[in-house]
Each structure stands twice: as C-alpha cells, then as structure tokens.
Chains A and B, each alone.
Chain A
Amino acid sequence: MSEAKQYKYIGTRSIRPDGYDKVTGRANYGADMSLPGMIWGKILRSPHAHAKIKSIDTTKAEALAGVLAVASYADFPSVADEVVASGEGSSNLLDLANNILAKDKVLYHGHAILAIGARTAAIAEQALGLVEIEYEVLKPVLDVNDAMAADAPVLHENMFTQGLAETPTKASNIAARQEFKMGDIEVGFAEADIIVERDFYTPTVHQGYIEPHACTASYDQDGQSMVWCSTQGHFDVRTSTAKLLNLNLNRLKVIASEIGGGFGGKTTVYLEPVALILSRKSGRPVKMIMDRDDVFKASGPGSATRNWVKIGAKKDGTITAMQALLHYEAGAFKGSPVMMGCMTAFTPYAVPNMYVEGYDVVVNKPKVAAYRAPGAPQAEYAAEMVVNEIADKLGIDPIDLRLKNAAKEGTQTIYGPKLKAVGLVECLEAAKNSPHYQAALKENQGRGVAAGFWFNVGGQSSVTLNMNPDGTGTIVEGSPDIGGSRASMQLMAAEELGMPAENLKPIIGDTENVAFSAGTGGSRTTFATGMAVIEAAQDVVRQLKERSAAVWNLTADQIEYQEGETFSGDNRMTVAEICAGAERTGGQITGRGNINARGAGPSFAVHLCDVEVDRDTGKVDVLRYTAVQDAGKAIHPSYVEGQLQGGAAQGIGWALNEEYVYSADGHMENAGFLDYRIPLASDLPMIDAIIVEVPNPFHPFGVRGVGESGIIPPLAATAYAVSQAIGLPITDLPCSPPNVLKVIQDNA
C-alpha cells in the first residue's frame, strides 16, 4: 500500500445520494412518522436528584378522558442481570430498565418514572400532572470527589468496587478501578530533568444533537412489532428492546429513520421499549418525542472528570515517564468510559514508562452515553496540557517536542498491541508546515497545539447488493447514515465495479431486509461497512464472470472483468447485458458481504488554535483554527473534511462554553440551547481541514475511520491557547468568560 493508487471514483466529491431529500425537507427523521390510529406517549420525570419512591397513584390520571395506557417498571416482563452490547459500549440490562423507567428509586433530576399514552400529546401531558407520587428525598452527590468520600450517600446499595485486589464488603459509589502500566515510572521520573504535574477538571457535557430522541412503535401480539426510531444502530435497538420485552428477534422489526445527529448519544434506548409497552397496553401505535429539556436532563451526557497528570522529560525534550490518575463520572449507573481514557491518554507518545489508574464513579446525574471518542477527550486534554507546559518550560517548540516523542509504527501501546502503520508524524509535520503555524500573534492572543488518538473499531457489517435487470444496483446496508456515509458506500462500490456511482443506490435496510450490522459508532462505518460493500461488489463481479462464462461456454477463470464489462478474447458483455440476460443464466444476481472487520487503523489528529482573550470580560474569541488528521484514504474528501471541522467545533464548544450547571440540590439549571451554549455560526472562524493519508494496510483502499479523533485535540489546543494569551495556567474547563476572568483576577 506504499505507493498511491489511482482511483476513478474514490476521492471525488460526488453529490450525496440522499442529499435531495435532505435539502428539500422530504427526508423522514425520528419524529416524522405517523401511523393510522396513533396516540402520543409522554414520560413523567423525577423532580428530585435522589429519592426513594414511596408510592405512585395514577387513578386520577387514568380517569382523564383520552388516556389510554400507563407504563411503569412493573410492565417489563422480567429483567435479567445480564450485559448486552450496544454501540461502543455495553449496558447491564437491569440498569438499562431502571434508567428507562425507575424501579423504586430515582437517581437524577429528570429520571423517567412512568409513561402515559393518550389521544393527544396535550392530554398525555395533562395526565402526567395528575399522577401522585410520594418521595423520600435523599441527599444527592454531584461530583466525583463528593461521591468517593467515605460518608457519601450511596446510590446503589449493592454496588461494590470491582477491580480491587479484594472486593470490598461495604457498598460505595466507586463502581470500578482499572490500571494500565508499562515499564517503570519511578525509573522514568528519576531520569527526568523536569517534572510537571497538575489537576484538571472537565464538566458534564452533552452531545447536543439537534434532533431529539423520537420513535413510533406498534406492538402486535400475533405477528410483527415495529419500531421506527432515530438511532445510530437499529440492530442494537432491536437487541435491547427485545431483551427487555422478552421478544424473539424475528418478532421485532426496527426501522432506522434518518438520524439528526447522534455523536454516540443515540447508541442506547430510552423511549423505544416504553412506546412498545404503551402500544401493547393501548392496542394503538404510539409516538414518543423527547423535549429538548428531556434530552439534556435524561439522555446523553459525556462524563465530567477530575484527572491528575504527571509527566517527566529530559532537557532535550525526551519524555521519560507519564502518569495519570483519572476519575470519571458514570452518571446514575456504572459504566463511564474511564477505561478508554486510560488507554488513550498517552498513546500519542512513544514513552517506555507509563502508569494510568482510573476510577468509574456513580453520581446523581443522567447515566452517561458514548460521546464521540468516548473517554478520550477528557484524559488526552489533561495529558496534552502538561505536554505543552513541558515544551514551554524547556523552550522547545511544542510540535518539535511531539515529533521527538511521537508514536509511530511499532510503538508499544499501554493497552497491549504495538501500533501498525499510523500517521501521527505526518500530521505533526503537516501542522508545522501549515501557513497557520507560521502566522504571527498579537497582544492578548495565544496559540495552542494538541494531538489526539482514537483507536477506531471494525466489527460486524452486512451488505447485499441487488443487481437490477438494467444493470444498475441497490446497495442495502445496515449502518444508519449519520454524516454522508451513503456517498462513501456508493463511491467504493463504483470503484470496485467500475460503474458510474449514480448507477448504484445505497439504502439503509431495516432489521429484516439486511443481516445484523453493528451500529454507526467507533468511526467504523466507512471502514467496516465499506469493506462489506467491497466484498458484496466482488461477489457480484464473481457472478458476472460465471454468467458470462455460461453464455460463452467457457469457465469463470477465463473471464476478465474491467470497467463494467466482462471479456474473454473477442467476447465482451456489459453489466447491463449480463443482468438483462440473467433470467436465462440462473436468475437475478445478488452480491453479499457479511464480515466482522478487523484491523481498524487508528486515526491521529493534530490541531492548531489561535485565540484572543478580552482581559476585562474573560471572553475568548477563536481567531484561526486548523485541524489535521490521518484519514488513511479519504473516500469522499468533503465529508472527511466535514468530520474534521465538526469535531473541531464540538471540541471548541467543550473547551469554551459547554457545561451542565447544577443547583446544590441536584437540579440541572441550564437544560436548553440558550443556556447550554453550543457554538453558533458567529462564534467560529473558517476551520482549515488538512487531510493526511497514511493508508491503513488492513483496508482494501486504506481507509481509517475519521469521525471521532477530531474532537480530542480541541480541548487542549483551545485551552492552552487561552493560557498563552493570558500568561496563566488553565486547568478547568470550560474557559467561559466568568471562569477565565476568575483566573485573571485571582492572579492579578
């Protein structure tokens, strides 16, 4: 894969096949499905952050005209204490059920308690107000430090810390402890000429997808139940929902609507099982849509963290030891991505001595969900800030310091394998050579550099490629298209078949018309589902050769295929001719690709950020931004750039403004886009995207997933730029005006 290949379709900037519907409003998203006889479901949510439910009385609510069903935890047939895979993680089924409808204790402000199905949304809403619930309010814990204290109120009386030498007999809020180590940090720190250590804080943040969770469900006792929903993985929705409702998988059809953003937050279920219960009890299809308030209070968020990092280096910039202690909030139920934090924190560096310890801690906040490179941005933020500080103190350019220590092919990772071919060095060099890095800064301005590492994943993908009698084809894949992946599938199939892209139509099949496919997460879709598309296309080519051989009385191995034609000697047939004649050679042609993709290549990113700080108000303006990332091979460069730019914007929001604000009694106080401020068009400059291509040797076209790495570097690149601009260290995010002003004033 070392020399660049010439491609005809791959690398072009084609118009996405689903684009017309999306610019005209015709595309159907989660809330856009209605069925005859449909009713509306609404969820009653906890007004308390931590409380026991003493009693629930729904008599008055059920008596309201137009109310057709009530659903509560008791309606789950039976829930086993088992783990189901979903998206980039896994969930314990009991926790999942308890999060969807609380059993006997509410664990966060907004925790779902029961649902009501009624003729209209307004009646359902009115009925919720008639439900009478008696609570015993408990003291909440809202921060890892408080949650880990010896006398902290305990959320789960049956939770005993896993991962210790000896499992404790006293329940606590510490779900698990993990550690990763390599070499000997004591030796490494002893070799160092300089050691820097700092504590960092990152707040609870939300994925912030613009489309709220939504579904329409129809329960059918005899035949097929159906769920239409906005999800990153409809097969995972089927698995979880079928488990919770005790259905065989073939009794539940899940249709993935178009999805209005997910960023990891749509890899689990909240509404779907509840809508099906309401449908079962009312005998009517049920639509449920979260309000934005619900989305913030009861879905998503990414972990708040308190992390400590210590790094030692020699005078020449050689890093000798790296150590971290990570504390991640899991929200109300165990399962923060702290392990991923441990594994990614220092992976951009080839350093022999590393030690990372991580704690998964429950608090009275919503259960965290995957958020774009789950766990990596928080840990790598802390690491990159300290790396920058070391570069400054040693008087070494921060890119040069990283080049001196950069992970490359053969570098031993802390989590086990050695890296295969990766493009960190190439990204660092591209950043260093960019016009941005040469530009001068003025007073009150600062520049930050940061690197980011994410593994990427492969996994199972299924594709059928149905050839039509006119020689066109339909690619049926099972990965929801969250950011233009259909365009990539189309280009890869076109390249493999040597056929115009517009002759190949990619569609997202439901759980019945394509075999199991893992969800769209882990930056896996263009990589893994792309491999399944390639395999399906190769299967079509094989059959085209067989059919041609049958017509020409030859054997398939005597047939060549190129550019949409089979040939052998003077014989020549187009795909259209073969498909038109398929009824005489054995029936129509379907190509299949069913794979479990291995060898997802990590994608490294390097970002540059320039900011200007208003010292009187603490306001930070991003002046210039460059995102460099290794795509392996960019199938559709525009959508690769889009991932780099979108990741950068999301990370800038994390660095500068976004945070959950809680009152002392655990009420989320900023559950709306006005007060939880994601970046606006007027907040950002153009974002220069530089695509580096170091091919992934395990993908036929060299593809690496690009969706996630881009959200990692912005935290440190932006925060370090702020610290450069004000000449003071920054440790806590976000760098919002009041926080930055406080740092300036505290040091005045």
Chain B
Amino acid sequence: MAKIHVNTSINGEVVEFLCEPHETLLDVLRNDLQLTGTKEGCASGDCGACSVTVNDALVCSCLVLGVEADGAEIGTIEGVSNKDQLHVIQQKFLEHAALQCGICTPGLVVSTKKLLEENPNPTEEEARYYLAGNLCRCTGYDKIIRAVLDAAETMRGAA
C-alpha cells in the first residue's frame, strides 16, 4: 500500500512525514519521528500514557491516525518545557515526588497542562475527574493531585 504524505506542525515546528494509512499518530510519533516521550500503555485509549493535543484538543494519540495530523497542530510532551526551562507543572511534579516509575508522567503533564488552561483553579474533585483518563499504578494519585493543585496556584500567582 502506498504511503501517504502528511504535512503537520508538532510543537510549533513544521514537520512532514510519510505514513501507512493504518498507522496511528502514536506510532508515527514514536517510530517514525523518534518522539518517544509519548508512551504506549494500552493502544486502546484506556490509559492516557499517549496523551497529546491535536488542534488544542486533548486526545489519546493511539486513537488518532497519523494521516489525521495533516494540516493540524500537534502538541506533545517534548513541547511542554521551554528548552531547558521546565514548565511549572513539571517542576511541581518533581517537588511533590508525583512520579515513581514515570511512565505515566508525560501523559499526565500534557493532560494537566490542558486542564489548567481550561480551568486555572480546579477543585481537588475537578482535577481528579479531569485526569481520570490518565492511569497511574504507582502513586495512588495523592502526590499527583497535590502537584497539580500546587502548579495551578503557582500559575495563577504568575498570571
């Protein structure tokens, strides 16, 4: 089957790639573009480890086809920090020890960023429900939620 030519933007950079029609955006990111910060936990949209934004919508990249990136703006974990300057969310995850193994962390950081864009002052319950699509098996979520709420407060202070 012929590969399809896709023009897209990833983390603000113009990117073009060839992909098979059946390839997911997750596979394209990881295998073709070597953007391995986005993780695969289930490939069925249940765990959130592959969370990215497509045109500002938070999605599981395992449920999006690579060809759907054509003309779209993609945001991945690699674009969250500003060169060597960590995003407040990333800094708070470190300060609160909100990761153990760290495999869910990129997805959680991407989802948290979107949460705080939509709702800069979430309650604990709102944060828990917004992040319910991001599974973490290590932490019990306690420290993640603390990091998210602390990041929200810091970002509100800076705004």
Interface residues in chain A, defined as those with a beta carbon under 8 Å from any beta carbon in chain B: 13, 15-16, 18-20, 22-29, 31-32, 34, 122, 207-212, 258-263, 289, 291-292, 482-484, 636, 638-639, 641-643, 645-650, 672-674, 678-684, 686-687, 689
Residue of B nearest to A22 (CB): B102
A648 contacts B97, C-beta separation under 8 Å: no
**Contact residue among B39, B43, B96, B128 (Cβ-Cβ distance under 8 Å from A211):** B39
Knowing A260-B39, A645-B139, the reply to whether A13 touches B145 (Cβ < 8 A) is no
In the assembled complex, B73 has its CB within 8 A of some CB on chain A: no
The reply to whether B143 and A642 form a contact with Cβ atoms under 8 Å apart is yes
**B104: interface (CB < 8 Å):** yes
Not counting A20-B94, A483-B101, A681-B144, a sample of 16 additional A-B residue pairs whose C-beta atoms are within 8 angstroms of each other reads: A24-B77, A25-B77, A29-B39, A207-B137, A210-B136, A258-B101, A258-B102, A261-B100, A261-B138, A263-B137, A639-B97, A642-B139, A645-B139, A682-B125, A682-B128, A686-B145
Asked whether B94 lies within 8 Å of A484 as measured between CB atoms, the reply is no
Q: In the complex, A672→B158 CA distance in Å? A: 41
Residue pair B143, A641 in contact (C-beta under 8 Å): yes
The answer to whether A681 and B132 have CB atoms under 8 Å apart is: yes
CB of A64, distance to nearest CB on chain B (Å): 14
- Name the one of B43, B124, B136, B139 contacting A292, with C-beta atoms under 8 angstroms: B43
- Given contacts A25-B78, A210-B47, A482-B100, whether A292 and B41 have CB atoms under 8 Å apart is yes
- Verify A28–B134 contact, CB threshold 8 A: no
Measured in the bound complex, the distance between the Cα atoms of B33 and A504 in whole Å is: 34
Is B16's beta carbon under 8 Å from chain A? no
| Given known A-B contacts A25-B78, A122-B22, A211 and B41 have beta carbons under 8 A apart | yes
A452 to B123 alpha-carbon distance, docked (Å):
34
Closest to B95 in A: A15
List B residues 100-157 near A (Cβ within 8 Å).
100-106, 109, 124-125, 127-129, 131-145
Contact B44–A674 (Cβ < 8 Å): yes
Cβ of B70 under 8 Å from chain A: no
**Most B C-beta atoms less than 10 A away, residue of A207, A261, A681:** A681
Q: Which residue of B30, B127, B138 contacts A642 across the interface (Cβ within 8 Å)? A: B138
Q: Do residues A32 and B36 form an inter-chain contact, with CB atoms below 8 A?
A: yes
Chain A's closest residue to B31 (CB) is: A34
CB closest residue in chain B, given A643: B100
Give the complex CA separation of A20 and B77 in angstroms: 12
Please indicate the chain A residues that have their CB under 8 angstroms from the CB of B20 in the complex. 122
Residue from A19, A210, A212, A482 within 8 A of B104 (CB atoms): A210
Alpha-carbon distance A412/B94, docked complex (angstroms):
43
Minimal Cβ-Cβ distance residue in B for A258: B102
The dominant DSSP class at the B interface is loop
Return chain B residues, CB-CB under 8 Å to A258. Answer: 101-103
The residues of B that contact A642 with a CB separation of less than 8 Å are 97, 100, 138-140, 143
0/1 string, B16-52, CB within 8 A of A gives 1: 0000101000000011001111111111101101000
Q: What number of B residues sit within 8 Å (CB to CB) of A? A: 59
List the A side residues contacting B124 at CB < 8 Å.
686
Evaluate contact between B101 and A15: CB separation under 8 angstroms.
Answer: no
Q: Give complex CA distance A645, B137 in Å.
A: 10
- Contact between B94 and A681, CB atoms less than 8 A apart: no
Q: Decide yes or no whether B57 CB sits under 8 A from chain A.
A: no
Q: Are B86 and A672 in contact (CB under 8 A)?
A: no
Closest to A120 in B: B20
The A-contacting residues of B in range 47-99, CB under 8 angstroms, are 47, 49, 76-78, 80-81, 86, 90, 93-97, 99
Given A19-B99, A638-B97, check contact A673 B46 (CB 8 Å).
yes
Q: List 14 A-B contacts (CB under 8 A).
A: A16-B94, A31-B36, A122-B22, A209-B101, A209-B137, A260-B39, A260-B41, A638-B96, A642-B143, A643-B100, A650-B140, A673-B41, A681-B127, A684-B142
Q: In the bound complex, do residue A648 and residue B140 qualify as a contact, i.e. CB atoms below 8 Å apart?
A: yes
A521: shortest Cβ distance to chain B, in Å? 14
Is A29 a contact partner of B103 (Cβ separation < 8 A)?
yes
- Residues in A whose Cβ lies below 8 Å from that of B127: 681
Known: A16-B94, A23-B109. Is A646-B102 also a contact (CB below 8 A)? no
Known: A483-B100, A642-B97. A23 touches B105 (CB 8 A): yes
Determine how close the nearest CB of chain A comes to the CB of B37; give it in whole angstroms.
Answer: 2
Give every chain B residue within 8 A of A484 (Cβ-Cβ): 97, 99-100
Most buried by B among A16, A19, A27, A29: A19
**Roughly how many angstroms separate A28 CA and B102 CA in the complex, as a whole number?**
10
A594 and B127 CA atoms in complex are apart in Å by: 46
> Judging by beta carbons under 8 Å apart, are B140 and A684 in contact?
yes
> Which single member of B42, B94, B103, B106 contacts A673 (CB below 8 Å)?
B42
Contacts A25-B37, A210-B104; is A649 near B44 (CB within 8 Å)?
no
| Distance (whole angstroms) from the CB of B24 to the closest CB of chain A | 11
Return B91 CB to nearest CB of chain A, in Å.
8
**Is the beta-carbon distance between B135 and A673 smaller than 8 angstroms?**
yes
Q: Which residues of chain B have C-beta atoms less than 8 A from A18's C-beta? A: 102
Contact B44 A292 (CB under 8 A): yes
Of all chain A residues, the one with the shortest Cβ separation from B36 is A32
Contact A212 B37 (CB under 8 A): no
- When the two chains form their complex, are residues A211 and B38 in contact, meaning their CB atoms are under 8 A apart? no
- Name the distance in Å between A501's Cβ and chain B's nearest Cβ: 14
Contact of B36 (CB < 8 Å), options: A13, A28, A210, A291 = A28
Residue of B40, B43, B49 most packed against chain A (CB within 10 A): B40
Tell me, in angstroms, the Cα distance from A672 to B46 when the chains sit together. Answer: 8
When the two chains form the complex, which single residue of A29, A643, A678 contacts B135, counting CB atoms closer than 8 Å?
A678
Residues of B within 8 A of A259 (CB): 101
Complex CA gap A649/B136 in Å reads 10
**Within the assembled complex, what's the spacing in Å between the Cα atoms of A680 and B86?**
27
**Smallest beta-carbon distance A708→chain B, Å:** 13
What separation, in Å, do the CA atoms of A642 and B138 have in the docked complex? 8
Flag if A673 contacts B39 (CB, 8 Å). no
